[in-house]
Structure 1
Amino acid sequence: MKKLFITLFVVELLLSSCTYSKKDEKLIEKDSSIASLTENEGLKLMQQNCYACHSVVSKSHDEIIAPPMAAVKRRYTMSYPNKKEFVEAFTNWVLDPIEENALMRGAVSNFKVMPKQPFNKADIKKIAAYIFDNEVETPEWFEAHFKNEHTKGMGNGNGKGRGRVNGNQNF
């Protein structure tokens, strides 16, 4: 009788632990779907709010009014390779774009400072997180332009930069 009781207890314990792992699996799936929704939301927000100026469909550098998001990502990841710092710096810039805080001095020289926009901080954080975590669309001409402008010796973007910021190239 004692063996039967112990056996039933062990079987019950095993069954309850299997149920628990199923709950964990559902929680993981839910977390993944939330992350996926947030990622999709970041992409959608970027397309709606950023691509009007940071176009990916322009035919050349001469047709743009702001650097492509691929250039922004490249520059910000140079100074902020950690996601939390990247999102914070990107968000701070978008919410208060002033020349003194610009990382992309070549872009400011070419396009002027980004105009202040009435963006929601939470939305900008979603955009920044999306940019950090994903490959962003790149105009066809971008890599050739980047290579041409940033390998002229000084590495300051079109030769107009003001040196280095935080030990990184200034473009």
Structure 2
Amino acid sequence: MKYSIYLILMALLFLSCADKKDTPQEGAEAQSKNMSPEYSEAYQLLKNQCYACHSPISSSHDVIIAPPMAAVKLRYSRSYTTKEEFVEAMVSWAMNPNKEKALMRGAVDRFQQMPKQAFVEEDLRKIAAYVYENELEEPEWFAAHEKEMHAKGGGMGQGMP
């Protein structure tokens, strides 16, 4: 009797494991889990070193302390079309942010200049490459804000005074 209960339990366990399918995951975190370890590391660096200020989960444009990384990517993508140019520009800014070379002048006016951080350049290169190659999480309000403020063509956010 004990033997047959044991066999039934083992069969149920085996069948329940065999039927499990991976649950689809959303967002950049899911992307990072499906990519090479380099990009998984890059996503973790992005979360740990950038999202504290450039948060993708802020509730509104009025409560953020820096533009979301999706906005940074959008702006840099408009000026730098190759991965190499994009990465170099982002790394250069993050290593030594200064108002004179700011690409996002509207953001600097609104949030002030990004403070100089003790970043490791190689980490920034990984982050910038990840940002260039992947779709980033966006705050819920971002699309409407982008359309309202930046779709007018050549206005705010285009690096113009």
What TM-score, normalized by structure 1, do the two folds share? 0.70
Residue correspondence of structure 1 range 22-171 to structure 2 within 5 A: 36-152=36-152, 154-157=154-157, 161-162=160-161
Alpha-carbon distance between aligned partners in 2 of 1:85 and 1:146, rounded to the nearest angstrom: 23
Contact 1:109 1:160 survives alignment (8 Å): no
Letter in 2 for 1:84: E
Compute the displacement of 1:154 (Å).
4.9
Contact 1:70 1:137 survives alignment (8 Å): yes
Alpha-carbon distance between aligned partners in 2 of 1:118 and 1:160, rounded to the nearest angstrom: 26
Q: Considering only CA atoms, is the larger Rg found in Structure 1 or Structure 2?
A: 1
Percent identity over paired residues? 55
Given the superposition, is the C-alpha separation of residues 155 and 118 from structure 1 closer, same or farther in structure 2, using an over 3 Å criterion? same
Give 4+ residue runs of structure 1 displaced > 4 Å after superposition: none
Compute the displacement of 1:150 (Å).
1.4
Given the superposition, is the C-alpha separation of residues 59 and 77 from structure 1 closer, same or farther in structure 2, using an over 3 Å criterion? same
Match of 1:15 in 2: none
Compute the displacement of 1:155 (Å).
1.9
Pairwise CA RMSD of aligned residues?
A: 1.7
Compute the displacement of 1:156 (Å).
2.2
What TM-score, normalized by structure 2, do the two folds share? 0.75
Compute the displacement of 1:59 (Å).
0.6
Given the superposition, is the C-alpha separation of residues 118 and 160 from structure 1 closer, same or farther in structure 2, using an over 3 Å criterion? closer
Aligned residues: 127
- Look up the SS of the partner of 2:65 in the other structure: coil
